Structure 1
Amino acid sequence: MHGVVIVVCETCRQPGDPTAEPRPGAALCASAEAAASGSGFTVRRVSCLSNCKRGLSAAIVSDAAWTYVFGDLKPDSGPDLLRGAELLAGSVDGLMPFRPRPETLKRGMIARIPNMQTLLSSPAKDMS
């Protein structure tokens, strides 16, 4: 509906956490799914985002905006991820505004990745 998807690593754990199941990432998935229920936003579970040193990890992905990757999340950070998705969906420039973000999304930002539309519309730099 919104073109924004919340992607959560269900196998995630923080460094030093036991490897036993269920992993804390599964709890983060459940928290995000509960927060997004009825909102029109989709939560997708993935098996690894390769951000193990800063787990728990999630990303907010859009077909028309930048992708945001977050780490250092808590098992109950689902509502914060939903708020980030709402902010990105409402953005006019494809960027998630910083000030209204929940603190977890301010402190836990790992990367911001442009979408293909942005990359293809940007002039190429000659590297020779």
Structure 2
Amino acid sequence: MTTWITICDTCKRDDWHEQTHQRPHGEDLAELVEVAAQGRGVRTRRVSCLMGCKHGCNIAIQAQGKLAYTLGDFLPDREAAAAIVDYAEMHAESDTGRVPFREWPQGVKGHFVTRHPPLPDTDDA
């Protein structure tokens, strides 16, 4: 299954202001994550809002049949993008989506907002 990194491209951190920023911080982070993910074992996509405005910049890491995670409060920089992609690759390599804490890249620690169980395979669950 493909692990996806979904990046909110409309996120604005607390310091965003139209007089000092030409575009949302989310666009900056999305661009950096897309570059960092090239040639790696994950895919990226952008969405207009993940509704985590208090935690901007937000991303989600998801794959069919696995735990899914929302992470936020990232700076839109190369270090954050690299850590996000590194974690997403670990998620992709895991059968369940669970990555042991000791293996997390330092750059994602403290950024987890939510964890979601996988959807049931049938309507009976």
TM-score of the two chains, using structure 2 as the length reference: 0.85
What's the counterpart of residue 61 of structure 2?
A: 60
Matches within 5 A, 1:1-128: 2-19=1-18, 20-76=21-77, 77-117=80-120
Deviation at 1:3, TM superposition (A): 1.4
Tell me: CA distance 1:119–1:87, structure 2 relative to 1, closer, same or farther (3 Å).
Answer: farther
| Structure 1: 5+ residue stretches without partners | 123-128
Tell me: CA distance 1:3–1:22, structure 2 relative to 1, closer, same or farther (3 Å).
Answer: same
The alignment partner of 1:117 has SS state of coil
* Distance across 2 between alignment mates of 1:119 and 1:85: 26
* Distance across 1 between alignment mates of 2:40 and 2:48: 24
Q: Residue by residue, what CA displacement relative to the aligned partner does 1:66-95 show, whole Å, maximum 9, x if unpaired?
A: 111001111122111111111111113331
How many residues are aligned here? Answer: 121
Give the greater-gyration-radius structure (CA): 1
Amino acid at match of 2:7: V
Aligned-pair RMSD on alpha carbons? 2.1
* Distance across 1 between alignment mates of 2:63 and 2:38: 19
What's the counterpart of residue 126 of structure 1?
A: none
Tell me: CA distance 1:119–1:12, structure 2 relative to 1, closer, same or farther (3 Å).
Answer: farther
| Structure 2: 5+ residue stretches without partners | none
The alignment partner of 1:88 has SS state of helix
